[in-house]
Amino acid sequence: MINGPKRRDALLAAAAGAAAVAGSYLATGWTPSFVVRPVDQAIVNLTPGPVVTFAIATFGDAGHLIHIGMAVAAVAGLFGAVAFAGLRVAARTERRATAAAAAGGGAWLLAAALTGVSIGALGAALPAAAVVGAGWLPPSADGPASPSPSNSAPDDASDREGIAADGSRLPAGVDAVRRRTLGVVAGALGFVVAAAGGRRLSAAGDDPLPDAPRSEGAAVRLQELDAAGLAFESDDLHDMVSPIGEFYNVDIAEFDPEVTAAEWSLTFTGETETDRTVTFDELVDRPVEHRAITLRCVGEDLNGRKLDNAVWTGTPIRPLIESVDPQGECDCAMLRGEDGYYVQFPVDVLAEGFLAWGMNGKELPSGHGHPVRVLIPGHWGETNVKWLSEIELLSVEDDGYWEERGWEGTGEVKTVAKLWDEGITELGDGRVELAGHAYAGTRGVERVEVSTDGGDSWTDAALSDGLPDADVWRQWRHVFEPDGEHEVVVRATDGTGALQSGEESGSVPSGASGWVRRTVG
Ligand SMILES: Nc1nc2c(c(=O)[nH]1)N[C@H]1C(S)=C(S)[C@@H](COP(=O)(O)O)O[C@H]1N2
Ligand SMILES: [Mo]
């Protein structure tokens, strides 16, 4: 199947294409400089609206994987075509160096054209050149045109004879040629796997906060949260703080903007007495706090996983807003991020907010808005703009990104108690631990009740200690001894004494409601 120079070249070229994409990913990560991004963006932009709506309704979050998969395949194909052209050119000159240079040079040009970044393009070019250089053999290596190996044939294209699948005799060296090609292809695939894995490991944000006292301040808060928490038997359930790599993520764009602290600034525009631009150095010079703040996405299902808590390091927004003296009629503001995201809500809600540059004692990771994001206590996740660049004070209300798409997700969060799979743990002595988190925004969680008989009777769950933070979830835990199958129901009561609404609704447009029910036992 890989006999013949053309087929062998096609296989090598495909491997080189895959290696080029992997190399680009290794060099740049999931950033705008990754060669797949412009093609993925084009697919997203060119897909007609009804198809997008159908895909979201049918595939949900998997829709992202589908268009990313298409983009990766298309870009690998483009690099493969370039490598193939390089191999065919070299077939005429019979020189390995020509093959490697043509494939590598072509890949570099293609990568630079796609991303506009010439140094980063080497990440794609070098692996492509390496695969083609290692796998290239003179056309004569395939025989039968050459009865004896030509002088440029590599050592392992020996004169041993092989037997083809159909039993016929193959020309000298074909087995060795095949082995070499497959070896190079396997090596390229190994590189693809290693690049993907290596990047994943390094992606977990672990840059410490810029100066030591601040890291220590955050560490102290993390310990306080830990001390306030319940010890769950479940190993897989987060405690009071979600680790950075496991904190949920919602982005309108597939690729995080790359903004350095030195480049970053926040500008107040629109209906202000004075416009103002704040740089990163000015921001971190302001009074620093370490706050526990929980985020929940309005788009998640009732028992969904888009609810997490972290300790954020930053500074209150109120003094900055007061310094520009907003004048607009609507007392509302449009916040904008570097990725093109925007959301609008009242200035007095914004004034309660926090500008964060640290998360769990580390620099804010790129996926969560590096270098600076907004955190708005008690409101749905969409108000917490990442990669924040502008706060425009408006004179009339206007829709944000999600509101334009039918959501009403800028208001206060609904009360919820979760019971995820990881929260149901057999203790080995016949008892079962039911455990999870409950959240009610700034109203706070006062009580969590558990029913093991479908809602006929209720028992109070144990709760983690209350914390001074205005907007933080609580853990709950209840152990019981099942006797056959039980319908477990959980519900929370907020700090105003209001019981979580049992009326069931989906997440559109303003967040799911109802009580989480699970069959246990
Ligand atoms: N710039 C920007 N900010 C954003 C978003 C976005 O896509 N771009 N998504 C919003 C939504 S819908 C949610 S729920 C939260 C999620 O924050 P996280 O990804 O840090 O968990 O960020 C909000 N802020
Ligand atoms: Mo969200």
Whether 421 and 394 map to the same domain: the answer is no
200 belongs to a structural domain: yes
Whether 294 and 368 map to the same domain: the answer is yes
Smallest CA separation from ligand 1 atom 7, residue: 251
Phi (first) and psi of residue 351, to 5 degrees:
-65, -20
- Of 348, 375, 405, which residue is a domain's last? 405
13 belongs to a structural domain: yes
72 belongs to a structural domain: yes
Phi (first) and psi of residue 21, to 5 degrees:
-65, -45
Stated pTM of the model:
0.76
What is the residue range of 498's domain? 416-520
Phi-psi category of residue 404: left, alpha or beta, with phi > 0 → left and psi -120 to 50 → alpha? alpha
**Amino acid (one-letter) located at 417:** A
Give residue 250 CA to ligand 2 midpoint distance, Å: 6
- In this prediction, what percent of the chain has a pLDDT beyond 90? 69
In whole angstroms, what is the distance from residue 270 CA to residue 313 CA? 28
213: confidence class by pLDDT, cuts 50, 70, 90: confident
Mean of the per-residue pLDDT values of the chain = 89
pLDDT score, position 188: 93
Whether 93 and 180 map to the same domain: the answer is yes
pLDDT score, position 204: 45
316: confidence class by pLDDT, cuts 50, 70, 90: very high
Cβ contact 79:21 at 8 Å: yes
Lowest mean pLDDT among 26-30, 401-405, 437-441: 26-30
Tell me the best of 341, 380, 401, 510 to mutate to test the pocket of ligand 1, counting ligand atoms within 8 Å of each CB and taking the most: 341
CATH number at residue 478: 2.60.40.650
pLDDT score, position 444: 98
Mean local confidence (pLDDT), 230-253: 92
Give residue 295 CA to ligand 1 midpoint distance, Å: 10
Q: How many domains does the chain have?
A: 3
pLDDT score, position 201: 55
Mean local confidence (pLDDT), 326-340: 95
CA neighbor of 60 nearest in space, from 253, 255, 300: 300
- Sheet arrangement for strand 276-279: 276-279, 265-270, 388-394, 332-337, 342-346
Closest listed ligand to the CA of 384: 1
203: pLDDT strictly greater than 70: no
Whether 164 and 227 map to the same domain: the answer is no
Whether 426 and 332 map to the same domain: the answer is no
Higher-pLDDT residue of 51 and 38 is 38
212 belongs to a structural domain: no
Whether 195 and 150 map to the same domain: the answer is yes
pLDDT score, position 254: 78
Cβ contact 437:462 at 8 Å: no
Whether 392 and 420 map to the same domain: the answer is no
The 10s digit of each residue's pLDDT in 132-185 is 999 888 766 765 544 444 444 443 433 333 444 444 444 556 788 888 889 999
Whether 155 and 235 map to the same domain: the answer is no
Whether 226 and 178 map to the same domain: the answer is no
Strands 388-394 and 265-270: parallel
486: pLDDT strictly greater than 70: yes
Whether 342 and 475 map to the same domain: the answer is no
281: confidence class by pLDDT, cuts 50, 70, 90: very high
pLDDT score, position 174: 73
202: confidence class by pLDDT, cuts 50, 70, 90: low
Whether 182 and 87 map to the same domain: the answer is yes
Whether 119 and 236 map to the same domain: the answer is no
The 10s digit of each residue's pLDDT in 345-364 is 999 999 999 999 999 999 99
59: confidence class by pLDDT, cuts 50, 70, 90: confident
Q: Is residue 387 in contact with ligand 1, taking CB distance under 6 Å?
A: yes
Q: Is residue 368 in contact with ligand 1, taking CB distance under 6 Å?
A: yes
Q: Is residue 337 in contact with ligand 1, taking CB distance under 6 Å?
A: yes
- Of 362, 383, 405, which residue is a domain's last? 405
Q: Is residue 386 in contact with ligand 1, taking CB distance under 6 Å?
A: yes
pLDDT score, position 142: 62
Give residue 374 CA to ligand 1 midpoint distance, Å: 10
Cis previous bond, 509, omega within 30: yes
The 10s digit of each residue's pLDDT in 2-30 is 667 888 889 999 999 999 999 999 888 87
- Of 204, 234, 260, which residue is a domain's last? 204
